Chain A
């Protein structure tokens, strides 16, 4: 079984400040980790992902995240917030197989963090 916990349902920052959105996961096997962003009344869009290799991954719009196995964390950061970053962010973990042993990308999502950016 796998689960995701996002610390803080709401995060508020000033424009130009550091953005830090926290995500911790539990997984019985090495996880694949994702951050998605959802703008109002839209679907989810991938920001970045970690599958294997380098533990610091860079995504779109200046976001990055670091996979820390020892801390079971995958926190999302951006050095300088922009007003356009205001949205809801979801961390997700994926790793599973069906009864036939075929891998598939079944995602388990965190509860989401709403990021507010004020001038």
Chain B
């Protein structure tokens, strides 16, 4: 089992460019999440998908969109990148509320 995988690992964008962060899990989990991590702020939830076919906003959704492509894959899109979106992005998944979340290795994004 690879667990949760994320691509790319690193990315540099110019302001206004777009990109999609990819996430996949092979654990047959129902729920998937996207977080951003900024120094001193912990992890903040951007979007989540409680089950295949559903997505909902988290704490900081502005500037992002998501797609739950199938049960395995959950992508995060930045339509027009801004310097404020410079961060480390983590994808996670779990079976349901009583189970811990498994995290991917992260994508380090810099927007200049």
Residues of A within 8 A of B (CB): 4, 9, 32, 34, 36, 42-46, 49, 51, 90, 94-96, 98, 102-112
Interface string of B34-53 (1 = CB under 8 A from A): 00000011111100101100
Given contacts A44-B103, A105-B99, contact A111 B31 (CB under 8 A): no
Task: Report 28 cross-chain contacts, Cβ distance below 8 Å, ordered by A residue.
Answer: A9-B40, A32-B97, A34-B100, A42-B105, A43-B4, A43-B104, A43-B105, A44-B43, A44-B90, A45-B103, A46-B101, A51-B98, A90-B43, A96-B97, A98-B50, A103-B96, A103-B97, A104-B96, A104-B97, A105-B96, A105-B97, A105-B101, A106-B45, A106-B58, A107-B43, A109-B43, A109-B44, A110-B42
Contacts of B96 on A, CB cut-off 8 Å?
103-105
Summed over the interface, the residue pairs from A and B with CB atoms below 8 Å come to a total of 70
Smallest beta-carbon distance A75→chain B, Å = 17
Given contacts A9-B40, A112-B42, contact A43 B51 (CB under 8 A): no
Contacts of A94 on B, CB cut-off 8 Å?
97
| Interchain CB contact (< 8 A) of A90 among B33, B42, B104, B105 | B42
Query: With contacts A9-B40, A98-B50 known, what are 14 further pairs, Cβ within 8 A?
Result: A32-B98, A43-B4, A43-B106, A46-B100, A46-B102, A94-B97, A98-B54, A103-B97, A104-B30, A105-B31, A105-B100, A106-B33, A106-B45, A106-B58
Smallest beta-carbon distance A40→chain B, Å = 11
Complex Cα distance A13/B88, Å?
28
State whether the Cβ of B75 lies closer than 8 Å to any Cβ in chain A.
no
Complex Cα distance A104/B68, Å?
16
Smallest beta-carbon distance A21→chain B, Å = 14
- Which of A95, A96, A103, A104 has most B Cβ within 10 Å? A104
| Interchain CB contact (< 8 A) of A98 among B42, B56, B104 | B56
